[in-house]
Structure 1
């Protein structure tokens, strides 16, 4: 399946959010993932050593998922970093960890291309498929295709940080709900003929993977932003309000005044924000053993 190129993100934004992403990711999903991986037959490797895990990171950006997960998984790992943007691929490939949790080697290669073109044949031999902040940018058909490719290849999928459509700002403001509703509508917009799922992506993905026999686990993974994350909070506010305003131009000038108030509170250290996300782990039917 072909699709228009997805939005490209500035490295500065991806770098700004990496610490919050790392703090938000759900480590609770690693235990069942490791149990599933350990129950599988050992992958064949080249002469002189094991091949280890083959992990494909879809829409890798600057490689934040690889830096977080690579050092938490034991055993040799070969990461294949997928993205459309060659500049992001170069950054991701250069910044990957070189050792796993047990000190064994981690290597990485890059592959430029759109995940919508991946099939089960492309994923053959893949131990794990990962992605971050990606599901909500997909359409219903693209989520179905992703589930079909992963489960067809027998590859578990760890899909992190999908927007949940819920934010909490403290102190509250009467205009919070108006902005939040408009933003969620923007996430569900039709873009170049593609009807994006936005906050509905997790429910669609759960259904898609379960229809193909997967065991699906979900875990909340919210950003919790305080004074220490004021730069990220300010940038997120600009994007959040800007998307809401783009979706509903009639919100001006209230949206402009709202953003100014919120940025002033952020600069003064008076604003905290919880931005809710969801992490999803889809495990194929066990070939041997059982998930612990």
Structure 2
């Protein structure tokens, strides 16, 4: 499942968004995943396969939340990003046990059930929305077949709230969402429907599925990320609907000024999904939350 080359995967953008991703991801899902992990013994490292892991931000966030020794295998198509993942990997787990990082340059389309077998957990971040329905179903089948719990975070939902409001907000949002689902190279991407498709596929396969919102909340303290996101959001909308170009340029000018003054607040909806394969022991959490 190859991830297309895109400026959005530049190291600068990934570094800029990492703190916002870390703040947004749902820690309850991480805690539930930790309760369900199976390992042969306390001394054998838990193997975690991180799909499309880039510079290793998911490992840096999740490894310190999970107990016991861990061995992360980070997959990506970009060897430059993977070099950063090796150099800046997490060093210790939640209980101070060692964490090691291995990287593999690969096309995710080549991954099969056999590649995931033996993993204690499969993870990905900001990846599902770049897949087609068939590709998502392939990942789900591989995880379920290998009996791997899966934690996929930060998938876009297509809902954005910008404050103060502007009459053009909705039109740009609709154009952006259409851009996210566009067909390219024969691939019709799921975009905002990715989590729904993944949850449905896991459920059909008998897995227990839990989803949680993981919104970015970008105020004055994250204005650099808000400004960069805004540029990309509007640029994609105009690429999808060129008739927006003139109005979008005026819109961007207003929004840039609001952002620079610290007066812009953006909430970008994402969603996290945890899937536990058939046969895993069923646990209801203290709040009585069940499958999504």
Q: If the length of structure 2 is used for normalisation, what is the TM-score?
A: 0.94
Q: Does the 8 A contact of 1:4 with 1:192 survive in 2?
A: no
Unaligned runs of 5+ in 1: none
Aligned-pair Cα RMSD in Å: 1.2
Aligned counterparts of 1:259 and 1:290: Cα–Cα separation in 2: 49
> Which residue pairs with 2:288 in the alignment?
none
Q: Find the partner of 1:155 among 133, 148, 151.
A: 148
1:225 matched to 2:218: yes
Distance in 1 of aligned mates of 2:215 and 2:80: 28
Q: 1:6: which partner in 2?
A: 4
**1:4 CA displacement:** 5.2
Pairing 1:44-193 to 2, within 5 Å after superposition: 50-193=43-186
Q: Distance in 1 between matches of 2:191 and 2:198?
A: 12
Per the alignment, residue 16 of structure 1 pairs with: 16
Q: Secondary structure at the match of 1:252?
A: helix
Q: Aligned in 2, Cα 1:229/1:136: closer, same or farther, shift over 3 Å? A: same
Q: Structure 2 CA distance, aligned partners of 1:5 and 1:115? A: 8
CA apart distance, 1:28? 1.3
Moved more, 110-119 or 81-90: 110-119
**Deviation (angstroms), 1:286:** 2.8
Residue equivalent to 2:40? 43
Partner of 1:238: 231
Tell me the secondary structure at the aligned position of residue 273 of structure 2. strand
Runs of 4+ in 1 over 4 A off after TM superposition: none
Unaligned runs of 5+ in 2: 285-292
Number of residue pairs aligned between Structure 1 and Structure 2: 282
2:30–2:62 contact (8 Å) kept in structure 1: no
Q: Does 1:202 align with 2:195?
A: yes
Deviations 1:175-231 (A, max 9, x none): 000000000000000011100000011111011111111100000000000001011
Q: In structure 2, how many angstroms separate the alpha carbons of the residues matched to 1:108 and 1:85?
A: 16
**Residue 53 and residue 4 in structure 1: after superposition, are their counterparts in 2 closer, same or farther (change >3 A)?**
closer
